[in-house]
Amino acid sequence: MRNSSKPVTACLSSGKGGVGKTSLTVNLAYALAQKGARVLVVDGDLGLANVDVLLRLQVQTTIQDILDRGADPLEAVIYVEPRLGVLPASSGVPDLANLGPEDHQELGEILRSIGGHFDIVLVDTAAGIGSSVLWFNTFVDYNILLLTPDPTAMTDAYALIKVLSRD
């Protein structure tokens, strides 16, 4: 779709959990891949991964393995279709939910490096306004915020926008 080595990056966040981030990320990725784009889905819910569950993937290597023991990021990517790759995260790892600045920098380098193999990178983030959610939102080109008519979903999305705008 594009020839540039820098992909378009977008992150899907909401503040509140359960509004459909993971579902939309995965469906959007399929739709874009069907249109001919090479799409990478990054499970940015680093400590409570969900993308692999939704897609029923057999995960061998996660973002945690890349950060902790230098696993090869390209080997971690699981292709669910020829043009649709998934970079999985781990589940039940509290430390990963709020990485520090050094890990974020390393993650940024990893995403820039494997991102070169794709046209579009979509990051499905965790709920909340934790450090990794904020970092992913500053890393990407486009911020997509999801909310439902539920007043708490509106409040949380507004709070996230406010924090991002302030920072």
Ligand X SMILES: Nc1ncnc2c1ncn2[C@@H]1O[C@H](COP(=O)(O)OP(=O)(O)O)[C@@H](O)[C@H]1O
Closer to ligand X at the Cβ: 119 or 125?
Answer: 125
**Among the listed residues 21, 38, 83, 104, the single contact to ligand X using CB under 6 A:** 21
**Burial (0-12, 13-18, 19+ Cβ within 10 Å), 5:** exposed
In angstroms, give the least distance from the CB of 20 to ligand X: 3
Task: Write out the DSSP string of 74-107.
Answer: HHH-EEEETTEEEE---BS-HHHHT--HHHHHHH
Distance of CA 102 to CAs 63, 98, 110, 145, Å?
15, 12, 12, 26
Scanning 11-19, 81-89, 132-140, 153-161 for contacts with ligand X by CB under 6 A, the matching segment is 11-19
Tokens of 166: 């302030």
- Asked if 125 interacts with Mg ion (CB under 5 A), we say no
Q: Cα separation of 23 and 19, whole Å? A: 9
- Asked if 14 interacts with ligand X (CB under 6 A), we say yes
**Among the listed residues 8, 11, 19, 67, the single contact to ligand X using CB under 6 A:** 19
Question: What is the CB-side half-sphere exposure of residue 39 using CA atoms within 13 A?
Answer: 23
- Asked if 18 interacts with ligand X (CB under 6 A), we say yes
- Asked if 137 interacts with ligand X (CB under 6 A), we say no
Closer to ligand X at the Cβ: 131 or 148?
Answer: 148
132: nearest Cα among 7, 13, 8: 13
- Asked if 17 interacts with ligand X (CB under 6 A), we say yes
In angstroms, give the least distance from the CB of 95 to ligand X: 21
In angstroms, give the least distance from the CB of 19 to ligand X: 4
Closer to ligand X at the Cβ: 98 or 148?
Answer: 148
Query: What does residue 80 show for φ and ψ, rounded to 5 degrees?
Result: -90, -20
Positions touching Mg ion (CB under 5 A) are 21-22, 50
